[in-house]
Amino acid sequence: MIKKFITKLLGKPASGKPDFGRRTEVPASVHGIDPNLVDERAVNVVRTLQQAGFEAYIVGGAVRDLLLGLRPKDFDVATDATPEEVKGLFRRAFIIGRRFRIVHVVYGRGREHEVIEVSTFRAYLDNAAAEQVKGNERTSKRQLEGMQHAVDSSGRVLRDNVWGPQDEDATRRDFTVNAMYYDPQTQIVVDYHGGIQDAKKHTLRMIGDPVARYREDPVRIIRAVRFAAKLSQLGFKLESKTAKPLVEAKALLADVPQSRLFDEMLKLLQTGHALASIAQLKHLGLAKGIYPLLDVVVERADSAFVKAALADTDRRVGEGKPVAPSFLLACVLWADVRDGWAQRLARKDHPFPALQEAIDEVFDARIGDVSGRGKLAADMREIWMMQPRFEKRVGSTPFGMVEQPRFRAGFDFLRLRADVQEVDVTLADWWQEFSLADDATREDLVQQARAEQLAKPRVRRVPKPATGESRAAAPVADTLPSSDGDAAAPKKRRRRRRKPGGGDGVGAASEGAAG
């Protein structure tokens, strides 16, 4: 093992080297973990590895939650077996990742499947340790390959596939409460850094020197915020030494790939603690400068529409329902799309091309070139393009709308707009009833909608934005199109459709889509 190898070559670590802690085995009578809270599939993974002669433990946040009497949502396992050795023990196991190679052991199929993530104990690497091992002629080829470009000149860890002993694996983890190992067979918790004591004190403390740890991996700055938000509801607080360097260390994020920052932003917003994460960012002085799109989220988090979207995301995660980044980001950037569309309509541009141009402009300005933008952009575009079509409740349009794959996302977006009074709540109620009704009832609803339009006098109305948002550049109602494809029709036809008896809800469309 690498730690023993270094010690043999160099003697005891010099002052300032990482403290790998002292192994403490805590029995069930002390830690009090309820075995009934442990997932049987995670127990099976541990048992299989141990029967094959390897060390194996449940690790990380699952142990922390078990100590707090909570049933973890996910279970991770750590072992001294290599990824290839782990894969060979299970029928459905897959090695994934390059920077961090891990194994997914899969149980079940379809939506009911569960993944147990298995990682190999990793060595703790800083510049000094890596260079000392690489510079010795006794270092094996395999060790050299694992350490190649593992740490850059600033101390940032670039690769983490160097296997090591359990104590080093514990030290390279972020926080003491996430660095404990639980053996469900013996019910012993292995603790190197006082994680059990910190859990009891509700303290979130970085292992080692926080400044050095943020330099090793600047994304730890974002993870500190995420864990602080997640555990704040249980009374946890960041230790002062862990929190103090965050603002200054923020500059290190400039060297992190944009795609990785984008992924970390989504974890902040889609793990069930979005509102708490926004509050932590403000509290810790990190409201700006982490990632441009995250800056927009924080800036708009107090607006009625975005706050409702964040709260709805937290609710869905708490209920175990799926969430999509496209929906949340569509909510965050809707004001930009709406205002850009309104400005183009004021210039007499054709409505639907104008909406598409406004969307393209927002993508270029706000999203940029990030991983997954293709599908992300397509889903967001569908949600936005669907909004003016909801105003069309006659003819064949409603029947076609409910058959679209993204109808539910578009409707949920409309419902949020109704909740903040950006559109009439009766419109959202009508679509909810229509989507759940049988064919005969749907026909009746369409006829009722048509009768309401015939009875309603034509009034030119200025569209209204959501509460507290800008009214600038809002076009008058009858500049917006109907939603059955007549946006580019000759003006004569559009004038005929405005006569009494031929209305199709154009006025309401402008209020909902451009307001």
- Provide the 10 A C-beta neighbour count for residue 259: 13
pLDDT at 483: 38
Q: What is the mean pLDDT of residues 486-492?
A: 39
Dist. CA 410–CA 392, nearest whole Å: 14
pLDDT at 191: 97
Dist. CA 113–CA 352, nearest whole Å: 42
Q: Decide if domain 208-302 falls under CATH 1.10.3090.10.
A: yes
pLDDT at 124: 81
Side-chain-side CA neighbours of 454 within 13 Å: the count stands at: 9
List, as one string, the DSSP characters of 380-416: HHHHHHHTGGGG--STTHHHHHTTSTTHHHHHHHHHH
Whether 337 has a pLDDT exceeding 60, the answer reads yes
Q: What is the mean pLDDT of residues 60-69?
A: 94
Whether 471 has a pLDDT exceeding 70, the answer reads no
Whether 258 has a pLDDT exceeding 70, the answer reads yes
pLDDT at 373: 61
Q: Which residue has the tokens 């400068």?
A: 289
**Quick one: which of 64, 82, 80, 81 has its CA closest to 72?**
64
> Cα angle vertex 53, ends 52, 59, to 5°?
90
Helices (H) and strands (E) in the chain, counts: 26, 10
Dist. CA 486–CA 21, nearest whole Å: 72
26 pLDDT band (50/70/90 cuts)? very high
Beta-strand runs (E) in 90-137: 93-96, 102-107, 114-120
Residue 41, C-beta contacts closer than 8 angstroms, at least 6 positions apart: 75, 107, 114, 116
Whether 7 has a pLDDT exceeding 60, the answer reads no
For residue 336, the surrounding DSSP H or E stretch is helix 325-346
421 pLDDT band (50/70/90 cuts)? very high
Give percent helix, percent strand, percent coil of the chain, each to the nearest 5. 55, 10, 35
351 pLDDT band (50/70/90 cuts)? confident
Angle in degrees, 0-180, between the axes of helices 292-300 and 274-283, rounded to the nearest 10? 100
**Quick one: which of 244, 318, 248 has its CA closest to 276?**
318
Q: Which residue has the tokens 């933008």?
A: 373
For 18: left if phi > 0, alpha if psi spans -120 to 50, otherwise beta; the answer is: beta
Q: Which residue has the tokens 């909740």?
A: 419
For all residues of the chain together, what is the average pLDDT? 82
Dist. CA 90–CA 44, nearest whole Å: 11
Dist. CA 50–CA 172, nearest whole Å: 23
Dist. CA 398–CA 445, nearest whole Å: 10
Q: What is the mean pLDDT of residues 37-52?
A: 97
Domain 1-201, CATH number (from 3.40.50.300, 3.30.1370.10, 3.30.70.260, 3.30.460.10) = 3.30.460.10
Residue 487, C-beta contacts closer than 8 angstroms, at least 6 positions apart: 350, 351, 352, 481
**Quick one: which of 132, 175, 174, 138 has its CA closest to 150?**
132
Percent of the chain past pLDDT 70, that is, above it, reads: 77
Backbone torsions φ then ψ of 94, nearest 5 degrees? -135, 130
CB 368 within 8 A of CB 258: yes
**Quick one: which of 27, 68, 64, 61 has its CA closest to 183?**
27
Dist. CA 174–CA 193, nearest whole Å: 11
pTM of the model: 0.76
Same fold for the pair 208-302 and 325-513: yes
Q: What are the pLDDT digits (tens) for 444-467? A: 999 998 988 887 766 554 445 555
pLDDT at 206: 96
Dist. CA 199–CA 33, nearest whole Å: 13
**Least confident span in 18-32, 156-170, 350-364:** 156-170
Q: What tokens appear for 90 in the block?
A: 């299970």
Regarding the domain delimited by 325-513, which CATH topology (the fold level of the hierarchy) does it fall under? cca-adding enzyme, domain 2 (1.10.3090)
Q: Where do the structural domains in the chain lie, given as residue ranges?
A: 1-201, 208-302, 325-513
> Cα angle vertex 512, ends 467, 412, to 5°?
85
- Collapsing DSSP to helix, strand or coil, 148 comes out as coil
- Provide the 10 A C-beta neighbour count for residue 507: 21
pLDDT at 372: 52
Dist. CA 351–CA 309, nearest whole Å: 26
Q: Which residue has the tokens 């609710």?
A: 315
Whether 484 has a pLDDT exceeding 80, the answer reads no
Side-chain-side CA neighbours of 93 within 13 Å: the count stands at: 20
Q: Which are the catalytic amino acids?
A: 74, 76, 174
